[in-house]
């Protein structure tokens, strides 16, 4: 199982690092998952991630208080809103798909905004 967690951790870390460069991909959720996987597979990689100057403080806040920075909350709101608008404008306009997408976004945003900042 250790190698599975290591592979998942590396994949999530890669997605998180890509998210730091691409505005359409989230960073923090993937790095939280990577840190959790590294906890079960590689103390060295976990330490590297937690001590990283850019990502470490956010991961520590998550671990200690379950906190999401307010800036990240606003970025989640902007990203999900723009994603929904893209689906609405580019998609086939099926009301069921739009309603389901809106529901998923609302649930996700409710969780994000319910966390301390």
- The tens digit of pLDDT for each residue in 43-91 reads 999 999 999 999 899 899 999 999 988 988 888 898 889 889 988 888 7
DSSP state of 54: T
Q: Tell me which residue of 28, 27, 35, 43 sits closest to 10, measured CA to CA.
A: 35
| pLDDT tens per residue across span 91-115 | 777 888 889 989 999 999 999 999 9
- Same domain flag for 95 and 44: no
Question: Are residues 19 and 6 both part of a single domain?
Answer: yes
**95 shares a domain with 50:** no
Could you tell me the pTM of the whole model?
A: 0.76
Q: Is the pLDDT of residue 25 over 80?
A: no
Who wins on pLDDT, 3 or 22? Answer: 3
State whether 55 and 109 are in the same domain.
Answer: no
């Amino acid at each position: 199982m250790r190698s599975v967690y290591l592979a998942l951790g590396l994949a999530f870390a890669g997605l998180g690092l890509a998210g730091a460069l691409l505005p359409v991909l989230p960073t923090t959720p993937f790095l939280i998952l990577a840190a959790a996987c590294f906890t079960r597979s590689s103390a060295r990689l976990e330490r590297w991630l937690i001590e990283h100057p850019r990502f470490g403080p956010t991961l520590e806040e998550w671990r200690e208080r379950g906190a999401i920075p307010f800036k990240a909350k606003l970025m989640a709101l902007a990203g999900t809103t723009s994603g929904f608008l893209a689906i609405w404008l580019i998609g086939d306009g099926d009301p069921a798909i739009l309603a389901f997408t809106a529901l998923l976004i609302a649930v996700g945003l409710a969780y994000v905004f319910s966390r301390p900042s």
